[in-house]
Chains A and B, each alone.
Chain A
Amino acid sequence: MSNLIQLTNGKAHISDDDWQLVKLPASQVEARKQAGKIVLFKLTGEKTVSDEQIANTVIPAHGKIILPLTVFIARKAELQTRLSKNELGVWLDTHEVLHTLIENQADLNALPIIAVHVERFADGRIFSLGTLLRTRYGFKNDLRAIGDVLRDQLFFLKRSGFSSFAIRADRNATQAMISLNDFSTPYQGAADEAQPAFRRYHRAV
């Protein structure tokens, strides 16, 4: 059974996953992905993915695919038809810089899906990335959390603009779904509901 939770008009349901996630081939070099190092990357231009990995990534010829950001950028030319057929999405890691996506794909809404991969569930960068994609860059299509996606982060992911959640394979997505509604009246405005409580309700003294 599928372990994908999909939000449609605010309603959650278990949904079949017709997207195929394309991964980079393993690298010999250990990538440094924790933030802080990212500051260093920016300063030094150090890359987390090698040209060799990008070139060796096997892109399936048919079906709907989600490509790693680096592969998408490097091999965009060969992928234009797939893009126009709505068969192409992009995923990025939490340590990757959102700006590189924007620079290479001005119209984000040409992508039917963007996924953010979280390696460890405690990595809260995913929340800022989702928020920025929705509120800053106006991404309107499916925004998916993939990787170490667990029940107790779902409420925050939803509020950060995510609309589908690929629950980690060893967990029960049907049970996890309950936690999307852990809180009914959150205080602050966020990506899913911009208005804070003090603007949504008439709060009596």
Chain B
Amino acid sequence: MYKYDEIDQTIVDERVAQYRDQTRRYLAGELSEDEFRPLRLQNGLYIQRHAPMLRIAVPYGLLSSQQLRKLGDIANQYDKAYGHFTTRQNMQLNWPKLENVPDILAELATVQMHAIQTSGNCIRNITTDQFAGVAPDEVIDPRAMAEIIRQWSTFHPEFALLPRKFKIAVSGTKNDRAVVQAHDIGMEFYLDSNQQVAIKVWVGGGLGRTPILGSVIREHLEWQHALTYCEAIVRVYNLHGRRDNAYKARIKILVKALGIDEFKRQVEAEWSHLKDAPNTITEAELARVATHFEPMPYETLPAHDASFDAAIVSNVAFAAWAKRSLHAHKVAGYRAVTLSLKPHGQAPGDATSLQMQVVADLAEQYSFGELRVSHEQNLILADVKISDLFAVWQKARAHGLASPNVGLLSDIICCPGGDFCSLANAKSIPIAIAIQMQFDNLDYLHDIGDIELNISGCMNACGHHHVGHIGILGIDKDGSEWYQVTIGGSQGNDASIGSVIGPAFSADEMPNVVQKLIDVYLQERNAEERFIDTVRRLGITPFKAHVYADKALAKNEVAA
């Protein structure tokens, strides 16, 4: 992974000093609440229901064992000994003290980490595929470019105060796992007809209040121009994006208002001046950064391992876990492993300090000392030998990290919601837990198969509910908490936005609503059809009819 040189280290060290002074001035009353707000936000510090919430950057989801240990230590020392991994591949502390944040940042800087631009109206953490570098379907490892974009966007002076937040995702695989179409800028790296690395650029995607998939603004961009082209896009947005209404301030609204053709015309006009400017990436810089992402020193191994095969046959629990938690690897004899942060009955994405130490140790012992955070809020060991899988499973299981539910209904993606987040309309974690408990039967979960269920506590859509096969959104009706349900959303190449099935439900009704959606699917599915496929084939009508059947009945009774 990328290792800081003196320049990188200087920037994070200077940031600590800067933020320490900003905090001091705020506490001394030299900075007003309004003036401090964007400063702390650009450092990932929200003021939430119970305490400030600090979001720590995990650039494109990559962590070393040393870094994860440090996160565990920080959670222990400054928080309640746990952290929350987010859908943006970052980590959040829910209970730090505002006055401790400078010290936390200083600790982070010792392991080449920071909280820069994890919130606020600026360019946020760059995200990518959690299997970057190891996925068999990968065409280009996007991590070096992600790092180059990270550096470019860090304290970019022109884009320090945008109309609204700005998210960039990169991907280099045939199957997009980085949801590039749901980002302000999405970049898909591919090899063009001359076998040169090129980028397909999407713009104006986003979830939130107005969910919309991005439009292609350029089919072919040479990689050298990635930064200057982004500069052109963000400049047009910075100058013309709306600043009068936070809900209409994302770039997607500007792209919609102008139309993609006119927006593209303005961007291209801008870019004609920026093309080949000094921010054009050099071969040497790409080579320098790419050295940090060279393949691990893999052993030459057979594709199969007898001990693994035997364990699968003899150990049902191991087999169930392996079926869901292992992912193909481009090198023979290796697998990527998902360590689930979704045990039934716990807040999705939470890890205790102890679990962080355990995962750090596992990564060190079995996976070259590195791991990843997935946008499904799990942790991933990307390079485990097949012969080591049983040992990894045993250790993970001993610490509640081996729920065999990866990719199943109870592997719920969920934002912190009303328990923690002051923007929330409704709680999300209790809904996730109630659904997990409703479906607390592994055979049944396996029978239901691949499905994604996403929960957001409000329109900000941190839980990406629009692209969940089942999406649940907390809404506020006359001061009480209700939940709106969508089905048919999906991420990936065939991304789609879910459709609302009808009036919202109370919290109590939710497990049963999900149950009914699943009932319809199980009854109607064709062989090999996933939930999403059935929804796409049938549309929402049969689902809607079944879910609301009792309600209609109840209404008729009242009427009668």
A residues adjacent to B (C-beta < 8 A): 32, 34-39, 121-125, 127-129, 131, 135-136, 150, 152-153, 155-160, 179, 182-191, 194-199, 201, 203-205
Nearest A residue to B274, CB-CB: A135
Contact with A along B26-46 (1 / 0, CB 8 A): 000001000100110000000
User: Which A residues touch B121, using CB under 8 A?
Assistant: 122, 124
User: Which B residues touch A186, using CB under 8 A?
Assistant: 11, 155, 157
B506, CB-defined interface residue at 8 Å = no
How many angstroms from the CA of A190 to the CA of B274 in the assembled complex?
11
Contacts A122-B38, A189-B279 given; does A36 touch B161 at CB 8 Å: no
List of 6 A-B pairs having minimum Cβ-Cβ separation, nearest first: A36-B242, A124-B161, A159-B157, A34-B244, A198-B285, A156-B157
A182 touching B282, Cβ below 8 Å: no
Q: Among the listed stretches B232-240, B297-305, B397-405, which one makes contact with chain A, having 4 or more residues with CB under 8 Å of it?
A: B232-240
Contacts A39-B258, A152-B35, A187-B154 given; does A32 touch B160 at CB 8 Å: no
| Distance in Å: Cβ of A194 to nearest Cβ of chain B | 5
Nearest A residue to B279, CB-CB: A189
Nearest A residue to B249, CB-CB: A36
How many angstroms from the CA of A186 to the CA of B151 in the assembled complex?
9
B residues adjacent to A (C-beta < 8 A): 5, 7, 10-11, 14-15, 18, 22, 31, 35, 38-39, 121, 151-163, 227, 235, 238-245, 248-249, 253-254, 257-258, 273, 277-279, 281-282, 284-285, 288, 291-292
User: Which A residues touch B278, using CB under 8 A?
Assistant: 189, 194-196, 199
Contacts A123-B161, A153-B160, A201-B7 given; does A187 touch B152 at CB 8 Å: yes
Contacts A128-B235, A182-B14 given; does A38 touch B240 at CB 8 Å: yes
How many angstroms from the CA of A69 to the CA of B157 in the assembled complex?
25
User: Which A residues touch B159, using CB under 8 A?
Assistant: 124, 127
How many angstroms from the CA of A187 to the CA of B281 in the assembled complex?
12
User: Which A residues touch B160, using CB under 8 A?
Assistant: 124, 127, 153, 156
User: Which B residues touch A39, using CB under 8 A?
Assistant: 240, 254, 257-258
Contacts A122-B161, A124-B159, A182-B18 given; does A152 touch B7 at CB 8 Å: no
User: Which B residues touch A205, using CB under 8 A?
Assistant: 288, 291-292
Nearest A residue to B227, CB-CB: A188
| Distance in Å: Cβ of B117 to nearest Cβ of chain A | 12
Nearest A residue to B22, CB-CB: A152
How many angstroms from the CA of A152 to the CA of B15 in the assembled complex?
12
User: Which A residues touch B153, using CB under 8 A?
Assistant: 188
11 A-B pairs in the complex with CB atoms less than 8 angstroms apart: A127-B238, A156-B161, A182-B18, A185-B10, A187-B11, A187-B152, A188-B156, A190-B157, A191-B158, A204-B5, A205-B288
| Distance in Å: Cβ of A91 to nearest Cβ of chain B | 18
User: Which A residues touch B7, using CB under 8 A?
Assistant: 185, 187, 197, 201, 203
| Distance in Å: Cβ of B198 to nearest Cβ of chain A | 21
B242 touching A35, Cβ below 8 Å: yes
Contact of B157 among A34, A35, A160, A179 (CB under 8 A): A160
B243 touching A188, Cβ below 8 Å: no
Contacts A37-B244, A183-B11, A204-B5 given; does A188 touch B279 at CB 8 Å: yes
Contact of A35 among B10, B35, B151, B243 (CB under 8 A): B243
User: Which B residues touch A156, using CB under 8 A?
Assistant: 155, 157-158, 160-161
User: Which B residues touch A35, using CB under 8 A?
Assistant: 163, 239-244
A190 touching B158, Cβ below 8 Å: yes
Which of A37, A160, A186 has the most CB atoms of chain B within a 10 A radius of its CB? A186
How many angstroms from the CA of A174 to the CA of B461 in the assembled complex?
43
User: Which A residues touch B162, using CB under 8 A?
Assistant: 124
Contacts A131-B158, A150-B35 given; does A125 touch B279 at CB 8 Å: no
Nearest B residue to A183, CB-CB: B14
16 more A-B residue pairs beyond the given contacts A123-B161, A128-B238, A155-B155, with a C-beta to C-beta distance below 8 A: A34-B243, A36-B249, A127-B161, A129-B239, A131-B157, A150-B35, A153-B161, A158-B157, A159-B158, A183-B11, A187-B151, A188-B151, A188-B157, A190-B156, A196-B278, A205-B288
How many angstroms from the CA of A135 to the CA of B253 in the assembled complex?
28
Contact of A199 among B156, B235, B282, B291 (CB under 8 A): B282
User: Which B residues touch A183, using CB under 8 A?
Assistant: 11, 14-15, 18, 155
A36 touching B241, Cβ below 8 Å: yes
Contact of A198 among B239, B245, B273, B282 (CB under 8 A): B282
User: Which B residues touch A184, using CB under 8 A?
Assistant: 10, 14
Contacts A38-B240, A187-B155, A204-B5 given; does A198 touch B288 at CB 8 Å: yes
How many angstroms from the CA of A194 to the CA of B276 in the assembled complex?
12
A136 touching B273, Cβ below 8 Å: yes
How many angstroms from the CA of A160 to the CA of B235 in the assembled complex?
12
User: Which B residues touch A125, using CB under 8 A?
Assistant: 238-239, 243
User: Which B residues touch A197, using CB under 8 A?
Assistant: 7, 151
How many angstroms from the CA of A194 to the CA of B231 in the assembled complex?
13
B39 touching A152, Cβ below 8 Å: yes
| Distance in Å: Cβ of B148 to nearest Cβ of chain A | 8
User: Which A residues touch B291, using CB under 8 A?
Assistant: 205
User: Which A residues touch B161, using CB under 8 A?
Assistant: 121-124, 127, 153, 156
User: Which B residues touch A182, using CB under 8 A?
Assistant: 14, 18
| Distance in Å: Cβ of A40 to nearest Cβ of chain B | 9
Which of B18, B38, B278, B292 has the most CB atoms of chain A within a 10 A radius of its CB? B278
User: Which A residues touch B152, using CB under 8 A?
Assistant: 187-188, 196
Which of A136, A185, A187, A197 has the most CB atoms of chain B within a 10 A radius of its CB? A187
How many angstroms from the CA of A111 to the CA of B84 in the assembled complex?
55
How many angstroms from the CA of A186 to the CA of B156 in the assembled complex?
8
User: Which A residues touch B277, using CB under 8 A?
Assistant: 189, 194
B158 touching A127, Cβ below 8 Å: yes
| Distance in Å: Cβ of A104 to nearest Cβ of chain B | 19
Nearest A residue to B257, CB-CB: A39
